[in-house]
Structure 1
Amino acid sequence: MKLIRFGKVGQEKSGVVTEKGKKLDCSAFGSDWTAEFLGKGDSLQALKKWLDSHADECPEIAEGERLGSPVPYPSKIMCVGLNYSLHARESGMDVPKQPVLFMKATSSLSGPFDPIIIPKNSKATDWEVELAIVIGKKASYVSESEAMDHVFGYVLHNDVSERDFQLNHGGQWVKGKSCDSFAPVGPYLVSRDEITDPHDLRLWLKVNGKIMQDSNTSDLVFNVPQLVSYISQYMSLLPGDIISTGTPAGVGMGLKPPTYLKAGDVVELGIDGLGVSRQRVEDWK
């Protein structure tokens, strides 16, 4: 199932995308796609059953309606660095022997078609297409063989990054990852059963119509169950938490010369089965 949230910022309602591509308002179901919903083992079954008898009564969402993040309130956004071998090389770093972890502030979360805001004093705002995992069942000290039982589904994520903040302002990467608008997620949250193999998905990103990243999740250094298991050894993963699994080669920092986003640029990205998102770049005001 494909879950969406739509409406003005802070006033989003719940919805779904049907197999025929219709966007339906499901707010009458009585639940947003919160941690409580995602953490119930039978939530999708209950929603499907409700839709069987109520879909005809659900208003169709207008084509121009804003989509918000399909995951509304994650307790954390965990990210994995250098998780594609070619990206590690273009960054001038060794392929890691253990996952490189960092966090994005949850306040960076935005909708899939919301603008990217270049932050105040930015010199190097960059793009990163990523497959993101959404947790559906609390995970603490889980094994790799158990890990997929804790995955609700997947979303498309642009891990927008300010490289000067990230690398030259001291401390950890979080400074360059957490600016407002730096985590466009969606367009929809796709339940795990719809993705046959998360390790064989094309992912790509364009800037102003030019392909900058074009790869496949088969090139992941650490795969989905490995990441869920590994991270759960250090913290509890809660329903609704997002794990962004890393980006392939082709980021602006790796180009010669390095190339970064500027106001007016348009970033478009997609992953097989997870849809396409698009963000226009604006200066901070």
Structure 2
Amino acid sequence: MRYVRFIHQGRPVLGVRTTEGVKVIGDETLEALMARGVDLATFGIEAQGPLVEVGEQDYLPLMSKPGKIVCVGLNYADHTKESPYAQPDYPTLFPRFNSSLTAHNKPLIRPRISDTLDYEGEMAVVLKSGGRHISKAQALEHVAGYALFNEGSVREYQFKSPQWTVGKNFDDTGAFGPDLVTADELPPGGKGLLLQTRVNGKVVQSANTDDMLFDVATIISTLSEAVTLEAGDVIVSGTPAGVGFGMNPKVYLKAGDVVEVSIEGIGTLVNPIVDEA
């Protein structure tokens, strides 16, 4: 089942993709559905609603207010090699805020105070349930599905301090969507999927989700040692090599560029780049 969130008749709604179009299933959010324990794999089949065509500019971030967005840094060894860091033996975790989210076909905003906006194509993991001290063996039972994420990073501000939070949270730099693909439609843990990022049609990142150093089950289990996970939480699982910061000379995004993030079986997330007004 593939869920999308978009504007229909002037209001935000949730829908599911079908072979005939997108079926509108109501205005309840994904996070609300999961909080009340709805099985997303079957809910969309049983729900009733009109079939519509979603306009290119009508998409919204897949979730409006996830309880937590936790990102994983340095989770591909080739990306660590192009960074100024040694490879850690524990997941590098940092938060993203809801205010940074944007949608498919909406612009990533290059802030007026820096010209170092960079792309990071990643697989996002959405949880349907949570808890503490989740075992690795049971971790994937908590996954609702998978989505695309472009974890736009303002490098100048990311590296102003040992903590990356500011550089990872500029408004309108975290693209999320367009589809949530339920876990039953993909390999366990989202493994074995080709991940690619293109800038202006050129492939700049290409890897397989098998290449993650800490797989989805490990991340969930490790995070739950410290944090109570909840339905609707999002984990953004890391990016491979090929970011602009890692090039010599460095190549950052500029107004007019178009970034596409694709993952096999999930789809493609497209975002143009514009300068902050």
- TM band (smaller chain): over 0.9
Alpha-carbon distance in 1 for matches of 2:45, 2:203: 41
Alpha-carbon distance in 1 for matches of 2:42, 2:82: 46
TM-score, scaled relative to structure 2: 0.94
Amino acid at match of 1:31: E
Q: Is the 8 A contact 1:130 1:246 kept in 2?
A: yes
1:47 alignment partner in structure 2? 43
Amino acid at match of 1:80: V
User: Are residues 1:37 and 2:29 paired?
Assistant: no
2:22 alignment partner in structure 1? 23
- Percent same amino acid among aligned pairs? 36
**3-state SS of the aligned residue for 2:30?**
coil
User: Against the structure 1 CA distance between its residues 121 and 230, is the aligned structure 2 distance closer, same or farther, given a 3 Å change threshold?
Assistant: same
Deviation at 1:234, TM superposition (A): 1.3
1:191 alignment partner in structure 2? 182
1:251-262 to structure 2, matched below 5 A, reads 251-262=243-254
Amino acid at match of 2:15: G
Return 5+ residue gaps in structure 2 as ranges. none
Q: Is the 8 A contact 1:6 1:66 kept in 2?
A: yes
Alpha-carbon distance in 1 for matches of 2:81, 2:52: 47
**Offset from partner CA, 1:229-270 (integer Å, 9 cap, x none):** 001111111111110010000000000101100111111111
User: Are residues 1:119 and 2:111 paired?
Assistant: yes
**Offset from partner CA, 1:31-59 (integer Å, 9 cap, x none):** 3322x3113444326624534xx3xx513
**Range 91-100 or range 62-71, more displaced:** 62-71
Q: Is the 8 A contact 1:79 1:245 kept in 2?
A: yes
Amino acid at match of 1:26: I
Return 5+ residue gaps in structure 1 as ranges. none
1:12 alignment partner in structure 2? 12
**3-state SS of the aligned residue for 1:107?**
helix
1:2 alignment partner in structure 2? 2
Q: Is the 8 A contact 2:6 2:54 kept in 1?
A: no
1:129 alignment partner in structure 2? 121
Amino acid at match of 1:3: Y
Alpha-carbon distance in 1 for matches of 2:136, 2:175: 28
**Offset from partner CA, 1:169-215 (integer Å, 9 cap, x none):** x2510110001111101111111111124120100011111110011
**Offset from partner CA, 1:109-166 (integer Å, 9 cap, x none):** 1112110101121131100000111011023111101111111111100000000000
**3-state SS of the aligned residue for 1:12?**
strand
**3-state SS of the aligned residue for 1:239?**
coil
1:154 alignment partner in structure 2? 146
2:169 alignment partner in structure 1? 178
Q: Is the 8 A contact 1:25 1:61 kept in 2?
A: no
Amino acid at match of 1:33: L
